[in-house]
């Protein structure tokens, strides 16, 4: 193919792709001949226009188009044959004085080469693997919430101890405007809680956010404040009372147990707590796994060192989108995407070295289980396999859904691999402790 590669350094190279007259001449002549057959030029019958006139009018454009086609074919074939691991796409080197009047051409392309590196999954630093337990406090709180949820709700006009409020938290300067339900015992600041006693629907109570809750993260739930802002947030907020209710707690009897879990499934408060504990801890496994996956990802990014062809990638970003970017914009975009690119390379190497692949059977089995869980949520506990297979077929006929599900399957495979090969230390925590660990506190 006569393509030559000049390595600038370990991460950058230049390809020189020759295109000779022998490559393009016949193709150009065939296109021009077709133009001549169909050309409609005043003074000439169709098909009798002199080739010299066709050549003059269309020759340059046809030459450029055919040379470009040949160039792309040669370039793509070379990259496949040489199995070059490149980042981005080849960038043509612009030559201001390129001479199209010659018969043979040489085109140069810049390449960004993927770096060589090793990934050590068994490095010394141990990642914490959490087991989240539903402790007694959580179980008692959940039972009380169930009693209130299934109890009798009574609307009121005036706030008293133990009431539930529907309120809107407002602070225009900080963009806070969120309506939610609260109980006064949620406030750590008891002085703030007392301000509501005796107030009526429509009244507005002013309180401060600093120390309002026992955990600043609750500001995210009640005020819809971003995590980056919650720590030490100290602003005044108006709380408008939209509604006041109290509830007579439901009795913990068999009628309530049957309503919650089905007839005869549980018969005592202890069994209720055991059931809540079992269901909660199943959900906690997913959250613990996600944190473990996140922590391993960060560990690999920190411990796996390699350089990137940064200047090439910045130049490539300038020209790869629908709209060209300035150099400053491209540098900003590269800074945002560099971490993700590094992990893609690390992940790709791990997958290759451990032969992690997704088969169609893997995808079908994963999708099937997902559909069964979704159907169970809507009360369809025993769907037929025929029904499941039909839904799976429809889901996997959508390319976007197939890609999304494939990513989930590979994520599970990576998680299992990490659990097998990454050094871990086990830690048992309550959910409340886990949340604090999750946010680094």
pLDDT in tens, 300-324: 999 999 999 999 999 999 988 888 8
Q: What is the DSSP string of 387-425?
A: HHHHHHHHHHTSHHHHHHHHHHHHHHHHHHHHHHHS-EE
Tens digit of each residue's pLDDT (9 = 90 or more) over 153-204: 889 899 998 888 999 999 998 889 999 999 888 888 888 889 999 999 999 9
Please give the pLDDT value at position 1: 59
Please give the pLDDT value at position 190: 84
Closest to 300 (Cα-Cα) out of 357, 361, 342: 342
Please give the pLDDT value at position 212: 87
Tokens of 313: 């990638």
Q: How confident is the model at residue 57 (pLDDT cuts 50, 70, 90)?
A: confident
Phi/psi of residue 18, each to 5°?
-85, 140
Helices of type H across 85-183: 136-149
Residue 40, SS3 per DSSP: coil
Closest to 354 (Cα-Cα) out of 293, 289, 413, 294: 413
Please give the pLDDT value at position 239: 94
**15 pLDDT more than 90:** yes
What percent of the chain shows pLDDT beyond 70? 99
**440 pLDDT more than 70:** no
Helices of type H across 246-326: 254-261, 269-303, 310-320
**435 pLDDT more than 90:** no
313 forms bridges with which residues in the sheet?
Answer: none
Tens digit of each residue's pLDDT (9 = 90 or more) over 100-116: 888 899 999 999 999 99
Class of domain 4-113: alpha beta
**143 pLDDT more than 80:** yes
- Please answer whether residues 133 and 429 qualify as being in contact, where contact means their C-beta atoms are separated by less than 8 angstroms: yes
d(CA 110, CA 309) in angstroms, rounded, equals 11
d(CA 111, CA 173) in angstroms, rounded, equals 50
Please give the pLDDT value at position 136: 93
The terminus-to-terminus CA distance of the chain in angstroms comes to 61
**21 pLDDT more than 80:** yes
Residue 37 Cα distances to 50, 54, 168, angstroms: 10, 10, 76
What percent of the chain shows pLDDT beyond 90? 61
Tens digit of each residue's pLDDT (9 = 90 or more) over 267-287: 999 999 999 999 999 999 999
Q: Could you tell me the pTM of the whole model? A: 0.71
**441 pLDDT more than 70:** no
d(CA 420, CA 220) in angstroms, rounded, equals 35
Closest to 148 (Cα-Cα) out of 199, 179, 189, 183: 183
d(CA 17, CA 2) in angstroms, rounded, equals 7
Q: Where are the domains positioned within the chain?
A: 4-113, 152-248, 267-306+354-438
d(CA 417, CA 411) in angstroms, rounded, equals 10
- Please answer whether residues 419 and 123 qualify as being in contact, where contact means their C-beta atoms are separated by less than 8 angstroms: no
- CATH 1.20.200.10 is right for the domain spanning 152-248: no
Tens digit of each residue's pLDDT (9 = 90 or more) over 113-141: 999 999 999 887 789 999 999 999 999 99
Bridging pattern class, strands 4-7 and 12-19: antiparallel
Sequence-ordered strand ranges (E) for 97-235: 105-113, 127-133, 152-156, 164-171, 176-183, 204-208
Tokens of 419: 């659990």
The mean pLDDT value for 57-75 works out to 91
Bridging pattern class, strands 176-183 and 164-171: antiparallel
Q: How confident is the model at residue 348 (pLDDT cuts 50, 70, 90)?
A: very high
């Amino acid at each position: 193919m006569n393509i030559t590669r000049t390595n600038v350094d370990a991460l950058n190279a230049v390809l020189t792709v020759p295109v000779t007259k022998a490559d393009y001449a016949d193709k150009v002549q065939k296109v021009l001949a077709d133009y001549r057959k169909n050309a409609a030029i005043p003074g000439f019958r169709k098909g009798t226009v002199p080739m010299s006139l066709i050549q003059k009018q269309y020759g340059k454009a046809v030459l450029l188009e055919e040379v470009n086609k040949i160039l792309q074919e040669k370039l793509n074939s070379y990259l496949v044959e040489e199995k070059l691991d490149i980042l981005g796409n080849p960038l043509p080197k612009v030559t201001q004085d390129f001479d199209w009047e010659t018969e043979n051409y040489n085109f140069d392309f810049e390449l960004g080469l993927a770096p060589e590196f090793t990934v050590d999954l068994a490095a010394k630093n141990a990642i914490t693997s959490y087991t989240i337990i539903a402790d007694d406090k959580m179980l008692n709180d959940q039972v009380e919430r169930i009693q209130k949820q299934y109890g009798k709700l009574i609307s009121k006009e005036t706030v008293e101890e133990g009431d539930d409020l529907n309120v809107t938290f407002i602070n225009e300067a900080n963009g806070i405007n969120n309506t939610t339900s609260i109980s006064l015992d949620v406030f750590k600041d008891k002085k703030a809680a007392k301000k509501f006693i005796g107030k009526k629907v429509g009244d507005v109570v002013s309180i401060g956010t600093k120390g309002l809750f026992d955990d600043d993260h609750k500001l995210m739930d009640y005020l819809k404040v971003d995590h980056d802002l919650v720590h030490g947030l100290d602003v005044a907020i108006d709380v408008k009372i939209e509604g006041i209710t109290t509830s007579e707690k439901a009795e913990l009897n068999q009628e309530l147990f049957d309503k919650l879990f089905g007839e005869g499934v549980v018969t005592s408060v202890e069994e209720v707590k055991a059931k809540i504990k079992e269901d909660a801890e199943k959900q906690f496994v997913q959250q613990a796994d996600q944190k473990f996956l996140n922590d391993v990802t960060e560990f690999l990014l920190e411990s796996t060192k390699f350089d990137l062809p940064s200047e090439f990638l910045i130049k490539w970003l300038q020209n790869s989108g629908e709209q060209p970017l300035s150099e400053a914009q491209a540098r900003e975009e590269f800074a945002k995407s560099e971490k993700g690119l590094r992990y893609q390379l690390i992940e790709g190497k791990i997958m290759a070295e451990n032969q992690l692949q997704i088969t169609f059977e893997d995808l079908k089995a994963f999708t099937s289980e997902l559909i069964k869980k979704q159907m169970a949520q809507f009360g369809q506990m025993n769907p037929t396999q025929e029904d499941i297979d039909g839904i799976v077929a429809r889901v996997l006929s959508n390319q976007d859904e197939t890609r999304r599900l494939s990513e989930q399957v590979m994520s599970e495979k990576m998680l299992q691999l990490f659990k097998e090969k990454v050094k871990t230390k086990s830690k048992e925590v309550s959910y409340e402790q886990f949340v604090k660990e999750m946010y680094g506190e």
